[in-house]
Structure 1
Amino acid sequence: MAIPHDSNEALYLLPPNKEDWAGQGIPDFVYGQEELLAGGIQWPRNTSAVPGVLPLSRFDSAVCSAWRQRMELGLFRYHLGELQTQTLPGAVGFVAQLNVERGVQRRRPQSIKSVRQAFDPEQFNFNKIRPGEILFRLHREPDLPSALQQEDILVMINVSPLEWGHVLLVPKPALGLPQRLLPGALRAGVEAVLLSLHPGFRVGFNSLGGLASVNHLHLHGYYLAHRLPVEGAPSNSSRPRGHLYLLQALPAPGFLFYTSSPGPDLEALVSRVCRATDYLTDHEIAHNLFVTRGAPPGKTSPSSALTGVRVILWARKSSFGIKEGEAFNVALCELAGHLPVKTSQDFTSLTEAAALTLIQDCLLPPAQAEEVRAALVALVAQEEQ
């Protein structure tokens, strides 16, 4: 996917000489309520033309220009070119991409033994990155009404990118927060999606045991110029007038939360989601979360009109470390239908049935999945009373 240029890109670029980076400081990206656009975003008919035909928001311009410059400066572990991409034949619509370099050159995951593992300052963390890896500080205008504490989020490159524009959203790294989802971090992730005019900008979270490779609170954000199955997958409400929906469609059943507007509705969504992830973490249940523009709950087929934001949460078996020899490892993007494949042989031979087998092997057994469903439905019901 090509990242377009923008006339304001100099605001977020580094000086060309590395010795000058330390004195550069971190630029601020301050946004207001009027920049959070819930509706009016849709895919063009020709999806391959997405980079060239869609307008850029101020947020998109800041991310794309600074990210491209860091690639040109060699701050990544590998140079990411245009990735070979295919939609697997079948009913699901998996988007598979060949990304050999990520499979070979990404940093080895940390030794994780618990979903609730404490932060270890001796391990790699985001306080140890090079200054040039930070793009900007993301924060809201201070006078915006919010029930949640104001968060400053550092937006930095993922040095082993899945796709162009792959960034990390890291709230106050100096605090040494473990990889446990907090309301301020989730709200920033959802609002980052609302700040983008690109229908394929997504944000996600992997818990410990859900293939998070660094135990330091962070979310992923990246651009993918393809529709994904979870954008319009059908769902059923867990209870009449409920705000928790059950996503039953392939590639994996999950819990769907939805908002069509920023403000109080978004704050309520953040609260409900974090109550759910707190329950999962406290009960040592690994999980993955995906934020994407999408159709309202209850839709029976994908729609070109993305009228709001879907937050999908999956509870899954714990998996500590990368499994060698498999076509892909199952985390946030794979559960959503985006499959970064490690080898050319697997990319050529991968089928929908094989992909579904890998994904379903990572899900909770039926009895435990039903216990989790009942517990989360009860949690949301308590909050609505």
Structure 2
Amino acid sequence: MLHAQERPEHPAASGLEDFVYSEEDFVLQGVGWGRSRPDGLASRTVSRFDHALQSGWERRMKQGLFRYPLGELQTRILPGEMHFVAQLNIQRGLERRKPQDIQSVRQRFDPQQFHFSKIKPGEILFCLTRSHSPHVPAGGQAPAQDGAEPRLPETPNRVLVVINVSPLEFGHVLLIPDPMLCLPQVLTQELLHFGLEAVLLSTHPGFRVGFNSLGALASVNHLHLHGFYLDWELLIESAPSKPLCPALNFHLLQGVPAPGFLFYDEGRGLGVLARAVCRVTDYLVENEIAHNVFVTRGTAPGEPARSAARSGVRVVVWARKSCFGAKEEAAFNVALCELAGHLPVKTAQDFQSLTESSALHTIQKYLLPAPQLSWLQDELVTLLTG
């Protein structure tokens, strides 16, 4: 539990806490979806990480640091084989910051545009800090001194956990390396490693982490991951796959709204996993191919889909058509959530009329043609095995 000092003054005066963790904090067993409730939820122990994130997030909501209040979102599962989770989120469509003008997957960081060095100190929940020691101090964190100013990460073993002021779901946060590094939105092995670990620090099977590249609806060209809770199971957690390179647990995900490249790990080789994923995303960046990445708990490839266990981590990489300039008006934009089967919808009319067929039609407009995907598959297998 964090021992944050409650301060009555403006939220920007709050000091930043360190949330220190080690591999001993990873939850590798007993995480899964319950079957006794219609929404698939089950009572579960809240992890130390979940408590810190959720309590801090809710406190910022009460303090009015978000662009709009977010209550429980109206949700419906679209009939059909894909089990799309559609949610009505009108305010996000109206209130979110205007996306930056992006013209290249490799576009340089522009200090004249909005970037995360400009966030308010009160928007920072804590500094997620990896301990190199097998033992974390009692309380699991290094308490900030009273009156201390928020501290930015000084070493690669830290990232900031910051509220997304235009949330798409409960607990929506950003994982950001030291903002003063001014890194463009190109995924790094170090940041992805933190995202993988964050998923395993949660006891909630619906805590997901993701990345949008430039040209794949990233709205800010400053390196960050998204993290959020979704209380609904997604098809990609258990969908079948075709082995491409079994030695690296590299597969082609099938039977889902958007075919993607799947990596899997049981939580014991996250550094190796992050390195393999970033070899793929680096290749995509070099070749100006837009992409989205989604990290979720899921079944091992080949494991029966009906299995409720979600002990390992699935990482899905979607290579897709680039989307530069103004976004096309549709019921939803196609980024990491939508490719995964979670559809935040902008209007009540679209929410009521949306069908699986119309959702698939929208998504498929942004997918690579089958011949190009097949060519890319061969290229990535050669890259990973060579």
TM-score (norm 2): 0.91
Deviation at 1:327, TM superposition (A): 0.3
CA distance in 2, matches of 1:352, 1:49: 19
Q: Is the 8 A contact 1:86 1:96 kept in 2?
A: yes
What residue number does 1:259 align with?
265
Deviations 1:233-280, CA, capped at 9 Å, x for gaps: 000111454421110222110000000023xx2221111100000000
Q: Secondary structure at the match of 1:279?
A: helix
Q: Is the 8 A contact 2:126 2:160 kept in 1?
A: yes
Letter in structure 1 aligned against 2:85: V
What residue number does 2:163 align with?
157
List aligned pairs for 1:108-187, cutoff 5 A. Answer: 108-143=98-133, 150-187=156-193
Q: Is the 8 A contact 2:86 2:342 kept in 1?
A: yes
Deviation at 1:303, TM superposition (A): 2.5
List aligned pairs for 1:1-385, cutoff 5 A. Answer: 8=1, 11-12=3-4, 15-18=7-10, 21-22=12-13, 24-47=14-37, 53-143=43-133, 150-239=156-245, 241-262=247-268, 265-299=269-303, 301-321=305-325, 323-382=327-386
Deviations 1:138-175, CA, capped at 9 Å, x for gaps: 01113369xxx843100000000010100000011110
Deviation at 1:304, TM superposition (A): 1.1
Letter in structure 2 aligned against 1:246: L
Q: Which runs of 5+ in 1 are unaligned?
A: 1-7
Pairwise CA RMSD? 1.8
Letter in structure 1 aligned against 2:75: T
CA distance in 1, matches of 2:4, 2:383: 42
Which stretch shifts more, 61-70 or 39-48? 39-48
Structure 1 residues 288 and 353, CA gap change in structure 2 (3 angstroms): same
CA distance in 1, matches of 2:225, 2:5: 22
Letter in structure 2 aligned against 1:341: V
Aligned length: 367
Q: Which runs of 5+ in 2 are unaligned?
A: 136-154
Deviation at 1:301, TM superposition (A): 2.3
CA distance in 2, matches of 1:204, 1:240: 24
TM-score (norm 1): 0.91
What residue number does 1:3 align with?
none
Letter in structure 1 aligned against 2:323: S
Letter in structure 2 aligned against 1:165: G
- Percent identical among aligned pairs is 57
Deviation at 1:45, TM superposition (A): 1.4
Structure 1 residues 239 and 59, CA gap change in structure 2 (3 angstroms): closer
Q: Runs of at least 4 residues of structure 1 off by over 4 A?
A: 47-52
CA distance in 2, matches of 1:371, 1:257: 19
Q: Secondary structure at the match of 2:313?
A: strand
CA distance in 2, matches of 1:164, 1:51: 15
Structure 1 residues 49 and 358, CA gap change in structure 2 (3 angstroms): closer
